[in-house]
Homo-oligomer: A and B are copies of this chain.
Amino acid sequence: MSKIDENINFKPPSGFDIEFLPAEKRLEQYLIDTMRNVFEQYGYTPIETPAVERLEVLQAKGNQGDNIIYSISPIVSEDGDKDSDRRGLKFDQTVPLAAYIARHLNDLSFPFARYQMDMVFRGERAKKGRYRQFRQCDIDVVGRGKLSLLYDAQIPAIIAQIFDAINIGKYLIRINNRKVLTGFFSAIAITPEQIRTCLKVVDMLDKIGEAKVKLELEKQGVSGSQAEQIIGFTKIKGDNNAVLEQLAQVSQALGNPTDFEQGISELREVINGVIALGVPTDKYCIDLAIARGLEYYTGTVYETTLIGYESLGSICSGGRYEELVGIFVGEKMPGVGISIGLTRLLRQLMDAKVLKPLAPSPAQVMVLNLNPEFMNTYLQVSQTLRQAGINVLTSFESRPIGKQFQQADKLGIPLCVIIGEAEVKSKTCNLKNLKTGIQKAIALDDLVAEILAEIALKH
């Protein structure tokens, strides 16, 4: 057989080179399963929205997404397709959540806690580590009218449980409250117009450093002394009690301004909840330098840093918002949530050797083919193992036994079942563990128990 056309470029389009090898995809699947498991332990339910939404929906928050939205249209135009050019691919999970809630308002129960782990699309300029399609894993809980701050407190517990389960190493969940920042900014006479940009500049502290932040703040019309106050404020450090205590002192010195007090009170309530949920104190802290770039956050904000890999930036971020998911319903619907850009994060963690791909094959056992005459035995043994929940690859090809071991090894299959003429007669088999090299003769009747024991030993 010859190629269809020598000149076809079968590589993915630029920015869409997101596909994993089987061993990597199995790791991604393991992470997805782990996250699902934790999300469901906290009562979050799965949803999935279409990849394609009306442009008017995608653009509902203003035209901020316009430079990253892809529209879709049939390559051969068809009369019946009147929606052409008025549809686009979703670029985040938040606007679709707002649409989902509006579409199913009467079928949902509030507070509505959902997770969502499908693909989003962004027509950004392609560069290394930036993808035009990626899996975005979000959880959000949305209330009608109000939403307890304890939902904010659960978020660090959820993040910690996930990162502990996947053995990612040391990490730090950094918690702040937008009202603490904006309340302080107001109190030192930063104008309402300057506050937005001040938040964005403070958000860059980690990336550009103090000196540049000061310059940037001054560019926004903030005075040198105000800029120094802001930078000094973001540097308040200590354990949670110490930081809350210092915030109380700052507030008192400023005459206990309402917004600032509100922020401190919310932050205290969230931290108390995190403590009550038993999250170990070395996993989280209050960090007054966390601002988050996105405009819609109004209260609690989170970032998560992987210790020793700070250059990756925040690996899990989010916060509370008031005016976001109610936009299509026309009600106040406060929410709080976090987001993990899984495709990029997984590629980074594998590149940094923080996480290692799994075995390329899910099979735990390979039943070798020593002689095609015994194939019925091989098939029956394979089915018996499968009925016990064991993943089995039966070797159908007639290949030298050495080649079959090689294949099992290449696929990461730890156990091989070897049945030749003598074994068929005696209703036994040889079970070889490719990792230890140990081979045992076993009665076929004992094979399931023996394999289950070998698999359990691995953990």
Contacts and interface: CB of A to CB of B under 8 A. Distances in A.
A109 B53 contact: no
Please give the count of copies of this chain that the complex contains.
2
Contact of A383 (B17, B50, B278, B380): B278
Contacts of A61: 4
A459 to B, nearest CB: 16
A361 B70 contact: no
Contact of A277 (B1, B70, B379): B379
A209 interface: no
Nearest to A21: B107
Nearest to A39: B362
**Main SS of chain A's interface residues?**
loop
A200 interface: no
Interface string A342-379: 00000000000000000011110000000000011001
Given A3-B329, A10-B103, A60-B5, A48 B74 contact: no
A346 to B, nearest CB: 12
Contact of A330 (B2, B121, B397, B411): B2
Contact of A75 (B18, B47, B71, B76): B71
A103 B21 CA distance: 10
Given A151-B396, A323-B1, A43 B328 contact: no
Contact of A74 (B69, B76, B111, B119): B69
Interface residues of A, number: 122
A252 interface: no
Given A10-B57, A12-B53, A392-B42, A3 B81 contact: no
Given A16-B87, A21-B104, A43-B393, 15 more contacts: A4-B61, A12-B52, A13-B54, A20-B48, A21-B108, A25-B47, A40-B362, A43-B363, A51-B119, A55-B75, A67-B78, A70-B72, A81-B123, A109-B361, A111-B397
